[in-house]
């Protein structure tokens, strides 16, 4: 009789051992592993003590922060009529409620955005000296609306709801809500009083410039990048000429041209306001840089993928839309987000080329007011902190998006 084969006993796969490092060992390995590193650590601590100690001492004992609370309305909304401020609050409620609902249904990146924005709202509510009771109640309502939307989204996701239909509906709402917010802010004939953009100002105007320019410049930049690689000479050379000319001109020059020369290229009798001129300048300028970023991503796609798509019978349009472009955009997320952050900060250049009352211009005008005695450092530090908070939010969401899409991973 043939002997039965001996069964192979597979040992259980054990997880790798965990190494716990105490605080003393961590300090020794990372900060005091050698005499050279110990010296650098002590010098860095001494530098931080003298620099940060002086800054904190000035900020807590000497700085005159009283200039900010009375001027907070100017800094946030400019000269927008106080009787119409409910429109801004309603727009914020719509956006944050939709954001919470999206986070509950889609999760992942949307939840990170909810956490960051919710933390900011809690911080504003906690700073009782910064806003009045009415504003605190409105901020608490914003937080409650966002959390309520998050809870509703979680309930729909965990229940028997048709998630595909809800996701399609959310996409439609995200396309519709910006138009509704614009109509709320500017007014609707015979329904809402018109508020000209000359009354807009502060952070409201800065956000309007940045968000609209980002939304318009991104598709234009993608089209220019595709046009630069086109086989049609007219499209290719037009795209090359546009990109090279715009990238060779300073942004301030483009702003001046849009503010002074744009009306000469438009039909007689049509003079767009300065907000539209500034958005046009930012859009045209940023699109050229995005086009170069996207072109670098397109060149990173192996040509073998294009040949394989053609072998499968895909048309050039479908090959670009379904295979090449998604991979290219995924690869250039860091570069494009960096460009968007630069655009958000560059909106402060309207103080030079246009009469728009953006966040920086209003803060400079407040500094010049003799009533406050020129507390320039406090106001400029506050402005810098606000810019940093929003740019950090953009950078953080970019890193989360890169991690979710596996950018840089094989």
What would the DSSP string read from start to end of 276-333?
HHHHHHHHHHHHHHHHHHHHHHHHTS-HHHHHHHHHTT--HHHHIIIIIHHHHHHHTH
* pLDDT tens per residue, range 224-243: 999 998 888 999 999 999 99
Considering the entire predicted model, what is its pTM?
A: 0.84
Is there a contact between 90 and 402 (Cβ–Cβ < 8 Å)? no
| Residue 246: predicted pLDDT | 93
Q: Distance between CA 218 and CA 294 in Å, rounded?
A: 10
| Residue 73: predicted pLDDT | 85
Q: Distance between CA 286 and CA 37 in Å, rounded?
A: 43
**Coil, strand, or helix at residue 385?**
helix
| Residue 131: predicted pLDDT | 56
| Residue 340: predicted pLDDT | 94
Tens place of pLDDT for every residue, the chain, 410 residues? 556 666 555 555 666 666 677 777 887 777 888 888 889 999 998 988 888 888 888 888 887 887 888 888 888 888 999 888 899 999 999 999 999 888 888 877 788 888 888 888 887 777 655 556 677 788 888 888 998 988 888 888 777 667 778 788 888 888 898 889 989 998 888 888 888 888 898 999 999 999 999 999 999 999 999 999 888 899 999 999 999 999 999 999 999 988 888 777 777 777 888 898 999 999 999 999 999 999 999 998 888 888 888 888 888 888 888 889 998 998 899 999 999 999 999 999 998 888 888 899 999 888 887 777 667 888 888 899 999 999 999 998 888 888 877 766 65
Cβ contacts of 276 within 8 Å, gap of 6 or more? 197
| Residue 347: predicted pLDDT | 93
Q: Distance between CA 251 and CA 259 in Å, rounded?
A: 12
Q: What's the token pair of residue 398?
A: 């970019």
What would the DSSP string read from start to end of 21-90?
--HHHHHHHHTSSSHHHHHHHHHHHHHHHHHHHHHHHIIIII--GGGTGGGHHHHHHBT--GGGHHHHHH
Is there a contact between 305 and 323 (Cβ–Cβ < 8 Å)? yes
Query: Which is nearest to 289 in space by CA: 354, 353, 242, 331?
Result: 242
Q: Distance between CA 110 and CA 67 in Å, rounded?
A: 36
| Residue 387: predicted pLDDT | 93
């Amino acid at each position: 009789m043939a002997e039965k084969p001996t069964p192979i006993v597979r040992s259980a796969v054990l997880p790798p051992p965990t190494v716990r490092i105490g605080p003393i060992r961590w300090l020794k390995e990372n900060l005091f592993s050698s005499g050279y590193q110990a010296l650098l650590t002590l010098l860095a601590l001494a530098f931080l003590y003298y620099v940060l100690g002086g800054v904190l001492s000035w900020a807590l004992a000497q700085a005159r922060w009283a200039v900010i609370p009375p001027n907070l309305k100017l800094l946030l909304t400019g000269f927008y009529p106080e009787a119409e401020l409910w429109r801004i609050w309603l727009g914020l409620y719509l956006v944050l409620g939709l954001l919470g609902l999206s986070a509950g249904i889609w999760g992942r990146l949307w939840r990170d955005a909810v956490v960051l924005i919710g933390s900011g709202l809690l911080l504003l509510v906690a700073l009782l000296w910064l806003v009045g009771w009415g504003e605190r109640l409105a901020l608490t309502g914003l937080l409650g609306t966002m959390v309520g939307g998050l809870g509703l989204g979680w309930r729909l996701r965990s229940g028997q709801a048709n998630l595909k239909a809800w996701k399609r509906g959310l996409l439609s709402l995200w396309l519709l809500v910006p138009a509704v917010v614009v109509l709320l802010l500017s007014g609707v004939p015979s329904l809402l009083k018109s508020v000209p953009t000359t009354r807009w100002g502060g952070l409201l105007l800065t956000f309007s410039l940045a968000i609209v320019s980002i939304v318009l410049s991104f598709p234009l930049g993608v089209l220019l990048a595709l046009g630069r690689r086109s086989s049609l000479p007219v499209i290719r050379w037009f795209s090359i000429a546009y990109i090279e000319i715009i990238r060779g001109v300073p942004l301030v020059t483009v702003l001046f041209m849009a503010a002074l020369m744009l009306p000469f290229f438009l039909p007689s009798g049509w003079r767009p306001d300065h907000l539209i001129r500034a958005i046009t300048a930012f859009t045209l300028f940023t699109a050229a840089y995005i086009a170069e970023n996207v072109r670098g991503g397109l060149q990173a796609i192996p040509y073998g993928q294009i040949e394989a798509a053609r072998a499968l019978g895909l048309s050039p349009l479908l090959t670009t839309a379904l295979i090449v472009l998604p991979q290219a955009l995924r690869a250039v997320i860091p570069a494009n987000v960096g460009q968007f952050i630069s655009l958000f900060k560059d909106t402060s250049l309207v103080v030079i080329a246009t009469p728009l009352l953006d966040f920086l211009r209003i803060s400079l005008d407040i500094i010049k007011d003799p009533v406050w005695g020129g507390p320039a450092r406090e106001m400029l530090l506050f402005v810098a902190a606000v810019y940093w908070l929003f740019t950090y939010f953009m950078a953080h969401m970019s890193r989360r998006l890169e991690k979710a899409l596996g950018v840089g991973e094989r």
